[in-house]
Structure 1
Amino acid sequence: MSNAVLEVKNLHKQYEGKAVVDGISFEINAGDIIGFIGPNGAGKSTSINLISTIVEFDQGNVMYLGREIRRHEKDYKKALGIVPQDLAIYEDLNAYDNVKFFCSLYNIKGNQLKEKVKEALEFVGLWDRRKELPAKFSGGMKRRLNIACAIAHSPKLLIMDEPTVGIDPQSRNNIMEAVLRLNKEGTTIIYTSHYMEEVETLCNRIVLMDKGVIVEDLDKQVYKSKYAAQGLHSLEEIFLHLTGTDLRDMEV
């Protein structure tokens, strides 16, 4: 029996006649933290938007627990959490009401809603700041609030798109610890980042995209053993070798 939570099959997307996503296929198994990486313009963000149902794909299919997401979109969205790169919080609502609003979109009400909001804010360490407006928060705290909004409904599959961009090292470490805790509690995670130390620490498998296609899809340890013989000993070196892009030149 397949252990796949998500199956992406021959996915295509064009813009103005140009293939941005050109027939990608991969699977995500229960309990995975998948590092989904690639240089700027690789098709990563478009792929995430397709998987998230934000954008319609032209060809192919995406299956969640063996069911087509197009035919069962409502159920799929209930199981899906998204932490976008651009903050999705309301500056004029306090932290509690931000999480309450997003959680209520999943038809969660009453005492259950209150419990889930509290759990999410406690999880990210913001319960004591629940009555404050995000305008008073640091960048790292806003990122943690963004995560709380995405996880309050207890998603089974969580997409995290560059969740640590522009924050201090301590906040980054806090978020990475939260990712590992979420995964330990049963959440399967797709994690995009330009920071290879995060991918190295968090992910058990890495999917590398470039120019709209998947260049490599391997277990993290297999990456190392496969390319060590070529004198490549870090993910940064492998990334440069496979894509021709130096991570130091990438915009984050």
Structure 2
Amino acid sequence: MIEIGDPTASRLIVPALAQCGARLDWTVSTYLTKLTSSRNALSCAIDAKSQGFFFGLQVAALSEIAEQLGKKDWNLSLNHCDEYTPISPGIYNNIVNCNCSSADECHISVMCFEGNMFNGTVPAELGNLVDLLYLNLNTNNLTGELPKEFSNLINLRELSRLSSNNFNGKLPSFQSCEQLRILELEASGFEGPIPSDVSLLLNLTEIRITDLNGGASEFPKLENTTALEKLMLRNCNISGTIPVYLANFSLRYMDLSFNRLEGNIPNFEGALHLQNM
């Protein structure tokens, strides 16, 4: 059922969402567009009168991403999009939310396609979702390198996760993602070394990188990431010594196992919050 309160909004939003190939049950009012369905994939509530076109452009990008990944069953459920809430651990399937907290704009802010067994490469169109805060492509069959357009995601807070895929090539630079708080690349297929510009990500609280391919590399430069609480660099072919500065961080968890580290272990006796090492 479609109820149209604003013909302009319907012309802009309905065709864009129709590209997703889903069976939709919508309610479109003059001031609020509610997108609903019995299953979960895309959810949001937007000001259709002023922002239908803008949202439609981002949904068009999502449609292209879906087509390239072979995802055709887009289904919609209601979410008021009043604030950004990280996806809870253990939630799978498809979740895409938008942020409509601003009176002027709506943006797609959350994308979670965990456990869909997608094939192929990450589409370059992902870079069009410049307001994305959370991205999870965990447990698929994605291959190749991340597109250069990935650097457009300057607002990304959580890259959680690209793990359990079959990527290849070097780990990408995350220099442009200055807002990033969580970086999780476990068993992703990438090659080391961990880029030195990770030291520019001053907001990082969690790094989880494991099972990198390639030769040995030095311990990544993390001296500026003083907000770190969790650090996992397991089986990353890291050689050399463990940096002394880590003992001054407020780490709660640290795993540096299965590397080529040598020398003395720094004194962590003053690390009162460290529970697992």
- TM-score, normalized by length of structure 1? 0.30
Larger Rg, first or second structure (1 or 2): 2
Structure with the higher fraction of residues in helix conformation: 1
**TM-score, with length taken from structure 2:** 0.28
